[in-house]
Structure 1
Amino acid sequence: MSIIRITKHFDFETAHALYGYDGKCKNIHGHSYQLYVTIVGTPINDANHVKNGMVLDFGDLKKIVKSEVVDIFDHATVLNANSPHKELAAKIESHSSRVILVDYQPTSENMLVDFADKISKKLPKSVNLHSLKLCETNNSHAEWFAEDQ
């Protein structure tokens, strides 16, 4: 049976700030992120199986990514908990309940590492996470590939 990759696209809005950065991104700002999640596996080959012919139902992949990434990060402010931004987060939280403190600088690169870990843990054993692509703007993106890890 053939090895197949399937990809699902997700959109979410997130604000962040990069502590210690030497450019504009040191200020809180937002992005309309586009996340592409690609998994790899062998399609189910069982005429009696309700998911026959699928590597994984796109709906099942959607549930995993929404619960692990989109529903958490959408319309949230993400700040580095290991920086003075922790104090800023406390102030923001009094006006908004959607503040996430992460243990890393919230760049697209580091967010991908976090997302890959979260998504991989929830995938069925029959499939593997192949790659992630996170577009921060229309002309800037970061990618994560399992083969590089």
Structure 2
Amino acid sequence: MHLHVGGGHYELTVKDHFDAAHALPGYDGPCQYLHGHTWDVEITIAGQHLDEVGMLYDFKDIKRALHGVLENFDHRCLNDVPPFDEINPTAEHLARVVFYELEKTFPAHISLKEVAVWESPIAKVTYRP
């Protein structure tokens, strides 16, 4: 079968998780106190050009990049981990921080589209620049 090569783009998504605690100083509610989550993080990359094997980017390499960023937070109190020692470690801030840390790891032909962070199975935030 011959596939038309021109036009369109591809999006690849991977997910990972880590366990960490945080507190939200200044928040009027129970989350102002130290508590923990199993944080799920999903990222989507995009691009147009496939390699000679027919892949945009190897899923293995995407997973490795994501894990490399998340391991900095795993089993930690986020309030003690930069930049969260200076800003509240909200899911919103976490999504943005992960985005900009990850963006540095991909080659120029790959665009990081978004980072989604779940602090529970029913609460998710998505960051897109």
TM-score, scaled relative to structure 2: 0.88
CA pair 45-65 structure 1, distance change in 2 beyond 3 A: closer
Give the aligned length: 121
The 8 Å contact of residues 43 and 56 in structure 1, kept in 2 or not, is answered as: no
User: SS at 1:73's partner residue?
Assistant: coil
Query: Could you tell me the percent identity over the aligned residues?
Result: 27
Query: Residues of 1 paired with 2:51 and 2:96: CA distance?
Result: 32
- Supply the RMSD in Å over aligned alpha carbons: 1.3
Query: Residues of 1 paired with 2:100 and 2:51: CA distance?
Result: 28
1:65 and 2:93 aligned: no
Q: Which of the two has greater helix per residue?
A: 1
What is the deviation of 1:7? 0.2
What is the deviation of 1:117? 0.5
1:36 and 2:61 aligned: no
Which ranges of structure 1 fall in alignment gaps of 5 or more residues? 47-51, 80-98
What is the deviation of 1:71? 0.9
Q: Which runs of 4+ in 1 moved over 4 A?
A: none
Kindly provide the amino acid, as one letter, of the partner of residue 144 in structure 1.
Y
Query: Residues of 1 paired with 2:122 and 2:113: CA distance?
Result: 22
What does residue 107 of structure 1 align with? 90
Task: After superposition, give the CA deviation of every residue in 1:44-67 in whole Å (9 maximum; x if it has no partner).
Answer: 242xxxxx2111101111111111
The 8 Å contact of residues 42 and 117 in structure 2, kept in 1 or not, is answered as: yes
The 8 Å contact of residues 45 and 112 in structure 2, kept in 1 or not, is answered as: yes
Which ranges of structure 2 fall in alignment gaps of 5 or more residues? 1-5
